[in-house]
Structure 1
Amino acid sequence: MKQSGLGDALFISGYDLSGDIQSVGNIGGGPAPLDFTAINKSAHERKGGRLDGRMQVTSFFNPGPEADAAHTVLSVLPRTDVTAMYCRGTGLGAPSANLVAKQIGYDGTRADDGAFTFAVEAQSNFYTLEWGRLLTAGKRTDTAATDGDSVDFGTGPTAFGLQAYLHVTAFTGTDVTVKLQESSDNGVGDPWADVVGGTFTAATGVGAQRIQTARDQTVERYLRVVTTGTFTNAVFAVSVIRNDVEVTY
């Protein structure tokens, strides 16, 4: 089935590059299949190998002067890791792909009609590509401490922990702490409680973070994002991966 990419979003290390992205190419990852077929087997046998992940995008040439212009962010070609989040739609609970990666390339192509675009790839570093769900409706703006709306993950609880990604795209104030809370029934009879290990480091500006809980931790069916701190404007996006099976890195 073919679907339009209109209404999607892409964040790189806290910068919203959505308005400068022409297209999104290969987004994938997982364990490489290793052939373990022995001579006494009558069919192929495979096991999971090295974890991998990748994102490929094509960006328009936008030299700025905005701080989040694609050329300003991508042309640096940092040697350190970047954190990427691709949102397949920006509704609360929408699918989102997340990756801690090295940026590979910034190759320009000038078409005959004068269009100038750049091909960029992100290749995973240590973690695989992680598909999760948005706990914010795209970018959320808080002007004071706020309890966000919840997302129903459908079943629960699970017993394999979670990973979460935060992108802060704009900030005014001293600091903001973004954390996850959980409930088995959306707070009706089971009060909202902080997820153990589900609090990001207090943010003081634009940036991105990844956190993970214990691998054997119980996570309830409903999750939400709350903020605390001293600030007048915090614009951010959060994606959460609640593991249905054991995950080991």
Structure 2
Amino acid sequence: MAKQSGLGDHLYISGFDASGDIGAVGRIGGGPAVLDVTAINKAAMERIGGQRDGGIDYTAFFNPDVGGIHPKLSALPTSDVVMTYFHGAALGAPAACLVAKQLNYDGTRGDDGAFTFAGATQGNGYGLEWCTALTAGQRTDTAGTNGAGVDFGTGPTSFGLQAYLHVFAVTGTSVTVKLQESSDNGVGDAWTDVAGGGFAAATGPGAQRIATAAGQTVERYLRAVTTGTFTSAVFAVVANRNEVETRF
């Protein structure tokens, strides 16, 4: 794949599309903590992996309008937020996800007149996960819909998956989003529901993270399917199919 820029990227925060108010994403990081286990008989450092962590930091423009970013972030919620950075808006695109605490919302008024806010988040419970987009950015369904299959490259794997859902708007009673799998994109192997791959019904904006059993087999192709009583549902879904044993 050719080198790419960061043009056309998106940042979603707990069912809110913050993309239009974000000037830069300064850090998308994660991984295990490094533990020093250097013995006295060693001439160089020895390290092993510790607890997983992650963070997504950003710079936001000041937008106090209803529906803008300031009313959302200035509340400084103490509960978890779900962060998802979409690299582009295409099926199969990479997306970084994090269940996190919002640490700050610090304003700076520059001598050139610019007024921006620095935001930082820190992982809570799971660490940063790089996922694959099952929707091309935001998807709008006007009735129950079977999404297009996304090829995860190889399969099956035997270590389960995690998935994230952002719901931006629902017109109607509720929408339920679930994952389905197939070994060949439904050509000969019919699509079936992923065990443990269903999100809770959503009645309005919000975000969820789900995880299947750790040792569960997951096929090569995945898709996002909607059901429910609604006339419009706007949402985004990504999934991380584990290639190796993963613990949280």
TM range, smaller chain: over 0.9
Q: Tell me, in whole angstroms, the C-alpha distance in 2 between the residues paired with 1:5 and 1:19.
A: 14
Deviation at 1:96, TM superposition (A): 0.3
1:32 aligns with 2:33: yes
The SS at the match of 1:73 is: helix
Q: Tell me which amino acid in the other structure corresponds to 2:17.
A: D
Deviation at 1:47, TM superposition (A): 1.4
Deviation at 1:45, TM superposition (A): 2.9
**Judging changes above 3 Å, is the alpha-carbon distance between structure 1 residues 74 and 2 closer, same or farther for their aligned structure 2 residues?**
farther
User: Structure 1 segments of 4 or more deviating over 4 A?
Assistant: 40-43
Deviation at 1:46, TM superposition (A): 2.0
Q: Tell me which amino acid in the other structure corresponds to 1:193.
A: T
Gaps of 5+ in 1: none
Q: Tell me, in whole angstroms, the C-alpha distance in 2 between the residues paired with 1:186 and 1:91.
A: 18
- Residue in 2 that maps onto 1:216: 215
1:108 aligns with 2:125: no
1:171 aligns with 2:141: no
Q: Tell me which amino acid in the other structure corresponds to 2:9.
A: D
Deviation at 1:26, TM superposition (A): 1.0
Normalised to the residue count of structure 1, the TM-score between the two structures is 0.96
Q: Tell me which amino acid in the other structure corresponds to 1:22.
A: G
Q: Tell me, in whole angstroms, the C-alpha distance in 2 between the residues paired with 1:219 and 1:39.
A: 45
Q: Give identity over the alignment, percent.
A: 68
Q: Tell me which amino acid in the other structure corresponds to 1:16.
A: D
Q: Tell me which amino acid in the other structure corresponds to 2:50.
A: G
Q: Tell me, in whole angstroms, the C-alpha distance in 1 between the residues paired with 2:3 and 2:92.
A: 21
- Residue in 2 that maps onto 1:52: 53
- Residue in 1 that maps onto 2:243: 244
Q: Tell me, in whole angstroms, the C-alpha distance in 2 between the residues paired with 1:153 and 1:41.
A: 42
Q: Tell me, in whole angstroms, the C-alpha distance in 1 between the residues paired with 2:182 and 2:40.
A: 51
The SS at the match of 2:103 is: strand
The SS at the match of 1:236 is: strand
State the Cα deviation string for residues 187-210 of structure 1 (Å, max 9, x = none): 111100000000000001000000
Q: Tell me, in whole angstroms, the C-alpha distance in 2 between the residues paired with 1:38 and 1:160.
A: 34
The SS at the match of 2:215 is: coil
Q: Tell me, in whole angstroms, the C-alpha distance in 1 between the residues paired with 2:76 and 2:44.
A: 45
Deviation at 1:50, TM superposition (A): 1.7
Deviation at 1:2, TM superposition (A): 8.0
Deviation at 1:170, TM superposition (A): 1.0
1:135 aligns with 2:134: yes
Deviation at 1:36, TM superposition (A): 1.9
- Residue in 2 that maps onto 1:15: 16
Q: Tell me, in whole angstroms, the C-alpha distance in 2 between the residues paired with 1:144 and 1:4.
A: 35
- Residue in 2 that maps onto 1:73: 72
The SS at the match of 2:85 is: strand
Q: 1:156-195 to 2 correspondence within 5 Å?
A: 156-195=155-194
- Residue in 2 that maps onto 1:200: 199
Q: Tell me which amino acid in the other structure corresponds to 2:229.
A: T
Q: Tell me which amino acid in the other structure corresponds to 1:64.
A: D
Q: Tell me, in whole angstroms, the C-alpha distance in 1 between the residues paired with 2:42 and 2:195.
A: 45
Gaps of 5+ in 2: none
